[in-house]
Amino acid sequence: MLYRSIGRKVGKLKMKRKQRIHIAIDGPAGAGKSTVAKHIAERLSILHLDTGAMYRAMALKALRLGIEPGDAEHVLPLLPQTEITVENKNGIQHTYLDGEDVSVLIRTPEVAKGASDIGVIPEVRIKLAESQRQFAQEHDVIMDGREIGSFVLPDAPYKFYVTASAEERARRRLAELREKGLGMDKTLQSLQEEILARDYTDSTRAFAPLVRVPEAVMIDTTDMSIDDAVNEVLRCIIAGE
């Protein structure tokens, strides 16, 4: 019943506004925002864009070239010669770096840290935000990242801030790595320290930092199942104007 109601509401909203449906989800690493966004996209039959994957791809390119992702002097020359695109295949986002599908390669702790470091560079955020806005102009989309509601899609009618405790986020990350046979040298404590360090970098950068805009609905997933979080977002959308 909930999904039928939200489907009808989205249809009416599109007819009334004569514009794309945009849902912005922001939040720190490991809070579950991408997972929630994927489920919402499936329920609403709209596309999901994981913007963090684009920053990971940019970081991967720098790392491959022996460049520290946070080294603006050497990263900036890469921007004009770098193409990062995304494609939805059977509901799964594939991220391409200069034509290569790097969807699996970007899911390592090293690249994750690199994404946070490279995201501090304003020119990188501006370049990728332009691509993200273009994607939104062409599609009904739910987009998740760090500054979607504040910088990328400030006019999105639905905004959410998905978070969780650092300990829970580290626990989820460790389970994910173990499932993939990765990060065998990582411990819960070391991952929690990495997450807190990334939170600090993301929230204190001078340009387009991680922030919860006043109109964003807070969703704390620490003690929530995925279904509970998804249903809460959908209820908020139904209740919205």
For residue 182, what pLDDT is reported?
A: 77
pTM of the model: 0.86
Q: How far is residue 163's CA from residue 222's CA, in Å, rounded to a whole number? A: 8
Q: Is the pLDDT of residue 190 over 50?
A: yes
Token pair belonging to 8: 């009808």
Cβ–Cβ < 8 Å for 162, 31:
yes
Q: Is the pLDDT of residue 1 over 80?
A: no
Q: Is the pLDDT of residue 236 over 50?
A: yes
Q: How far is residue 128's CA from residue 152's CA, in Å, rounded to a whole number? A: 9
Q: Is the pLDDT of residue 18 over 90?
A: no
Q: How far is residue 211's CA from residue 204's CA, in Å, rounded to a whole number? A: 9
User: Where residue 135 falls among pLDDT bands split at 50, 70, 90?
Assistant: very high
Q: Average pLDDT, stretch 51-65? A: 97
Q: Is the pLDDT of residue 22 over 80?
A: yes
CA atoms 205, 206, 210, 214: torsion sign: positive
Which residues does 100 contact at the CB level (< 8 Å), separation at least 6? none
Q: How far is residue 180's CA from residue 40's CA, in Å, rounded to a whole number? A: 25
For residue 12, what pLDDT is reported?
A: 59
Q: What is the pLDDT of residues 102-120, one digit of tens each?
A: 999 998 889 989 998 999 9
Distances (CA, A) of 169 to 192, 209, 240: 8, 20, 29
Tell me what percent of the residues of the chain surpass a pLDDT of 70: 92
Q: What is the pLDDT of residues 146-167, one digit of tens each?
A: 999 999 999 999 999 999 999 9
State the pairing for strand pair 158-163/217-220: parallel
Which is the CATH superfamily of the domain at 22-224? P-loop containing nucleotide triphosphate hydrolases (3.40.50.300)
